Amino acid sequence: FCVLPVLLTQGLSNAAAALVVLPIALRSAESLAVSPVSFGVAVMLSASISVLTPFEPSCILVYGPGKYRFADFVKVGSGLVLCSLAIIIVMVPVLWPF
Protein backbone atom coordinates (compact mmCIF):
# COMPACT_ATOMS: atom_id res chain seq x y z
CA PHE A 1 0.00 0.00 0.00
CA CYS A 2 2.98 2.27 -0.42
CA VAL A 3 3.71 2.10 -4.14
CA LEU A 4 0.18 2.77 -5.43
CA PRO A 5 -0.25 6.10 -3.61
CA VAL A 6 3.17 7.23 -4.86
CA LEU A 7 2.19 6.47 -8.45
CA LEU A 8 -1.23 8.07 -8.14
CA THR A 9 0.03 11.23 -6.47
CA GLN A 10 2.23 12.06 -9.44
CA GLY A 11 -0.84 13.05 -11.46
CA LEU A 12 -3.41 13.62 -8.73
CA SER A 13 -3.30 15.73 -5.63
CA ASN A 14 -1.89 14.10 -2.52
CA ALA A 15 -5.28 14.02 -0.83
CA ALA A 16 -7.01 12.49 -3.86
CA ALA A 17 -4.39 9.75 -4.15
CA ALA A 18 -4.74 8.95 -0.45
CA LEU A 19 -8.53 8.90 -0.68
CA VAL A 20 -8.39 6.40 -3.53
CA VAL A 21 -6.09 3.96 -1.73
CA LEU A 22 -7.07 4.46 1.92
CA PRO A 23 -10.39 2.54 1.83
CA ILE A 24 -8.64 -0.45 0.23
CA ALA A 25 -5.85 -0.36 2.81
CA LEU A 26 -8.23 -0.07 5.74
CA ARG A 27 -10.39 -2.92 4.45
CA SER A 28 -7.28 -5.06 3.99
CA ALA A 29 -6.14 -4.32 7.54
CA GLU A 30 -9.57 -5.27 8.80
CA SER A 31 -9.55 -8.57 6.91
CA LEU A 32 -6.04 -9.35 8.19
CA ALA A 33 -7.14 -8.50 11.76
CA VAL A 34 -4.33 -5.99 12.25
CA SER A 35 -4.33 -2.36 13.31
CA PRO A 36 -5.61 -0.11 10.52
CA VAL A 37 -3.56 2.79 11.89
CA SER A 38 -0.27 1.48 10.51
CA PHE A 39 -1.82 0.90 7.09
CA GLY A 40 -3.39 4.35 7.12
CA VAL A 41 -0.17 6.07 8.13
CA ALA A 42 1.75 4.23 5.40
CA VAL A 43 -0.78 5.35 2.78
CA MET A 44 -0.75 8.95 3.99
CA LEU A 45 3.04 9.17 4.04
CA SER A 46 3.34 7.50 0.64
CA ALA A 47 0.78 9.84 -0.88
CA SER A 48 2.92 12.80 0.08
CA ILE A 49 5.88 11.67 -2.06
CA SER A 50 5.11 13.57 -5.24
CA VAL A 51 8.54 14.36 -6.63
CA LEU A 52 8.68 12.23 -9.80
CA THR A 53 6.91 14.84 -11.90
CA PRO A 54 6.84 18.64 -11.86
CA PHE A 55 3.07 18.70 -11.19
CA GLU A 56 3.43 19.29 -7.44
CA PRO A 57 3.07 23.02 -6.63
CA SER A 58 6.54 23.30 -5.08
CA CYS A 59 8.07 21.55 -8.10
CA ILE A 60 6.21 23.85 -10.49
CA LEU A 61 7.80 26.85 -8.76
CA VAL A 62 11.32 25.70 -9.66
CA TYR A 63 10.52 24.05 -13.00
CA GLY A 64 10.61 27.19 -15.14
CA PRO A 65 13.21 29.36 -13.40
CA GLY A 66 15.56 26.40 -12.93
CA LYS A 67 15.22 25.39 -16.59
CA TYR A 68 14.65 21.79 -15.52
CA ARG A 69 13.30 19.17 -17.88
CA PHE A 70 10.70 16.54 -17.07
CA ALA A 71 13.42 13.87 -17.18
CA ASP A 72 15.37 15.73 -14.48
CA PHE A 73 12.50 15.26 -12.05
CA VAL A 74 12.25 11.57 -12.91
CA LYS A 75 16.00 10.99 -12.47
CA VAL A 76 16.37 12.76 -9.15
CA GLY A 77 12.90 11.89 -7.91
CA SER A 78 13.37 8.15 -8.42
CA GLY A 79 16.15 7.96 -5.86
CA LEU A 80 14.25 10.12 -3.42
CA VAL A 81 11.12 7.99 -3.84
CA LEU A 82 13.04 4.76 -3.26
CA CYS A 83 14.72 6.14 -0.13
CA SER A 84 11.44 7.50 1.21
CA LEU A 85 9.60 4.23 0.56
CA ALA A 86 12.35 2.27 2.30
CA ILE A 87 12.09 4.51 5.35
CA ILE A 88 8.29 4.25 5.39
CA ILE A 89 8.32 0.46 5.02
CA VAL A 90 10.86 0.06 7.82
CA MET A 91 9.69 2.73 10.27
CA VAL A 92 5.88 2.56 10.10
CA PRO A 93 5.68 -0.94 11.65
CA VAL A 94 8.16 0.16 14.32
CA LEU A 95 6.33 3.34 15.29
CA TRP A 96 2.78 2.04 14.67
CA PRO A 97 2.91 -1.72 15.33
CA PHE A 98 0.34 -4.03 13.83
| Per-residue pLDDT at 1 | 83
| Per-residue pLDDT at 57 | 85
- Residue 69: phi, psi to the nearest 5? -105, 165
Render pLDDT for 17-73 as a digit per residue (tens, 0 to 9): 999 999 999 999 999 999 999 999 999 999 999 989 998 888 889 988 999 999 999
How far is the C-alpha of 15 from the C-alpha of 38, rounded, in Å?
A: 18
In the chain, which ranges are continuous DSSP H helix? 3-9, 14-32, 36-47, 57-63, 70-95
The answer on pLDDT for 98 being more than 90 is no
Q: How far is CA 93 from the centre of its chain?
A: 16
The answer on pLDDT for 96 being more than 90 is yes
The answer on pLDDT for 15 being more than 90 is yes
First to last CA, the chain: 14
In our burial notation (b when 16+ CB lie closer than 10 A, e otherwise), range 55-83 reads bbeebeeebeeeeeeeeebeeebeeebee
Q: Are 60 and 22 in contact (CB under 8 A)?
A: no
Render pLDDT for 68-89 as a digit per residue (tens, 0 to 9): 999 999 999 999 999 999 999 9
In this prediction, residue 9 has a pLDDT band, given cuts at 50, 70 and 90, of very high
pTM of the model: 0.86
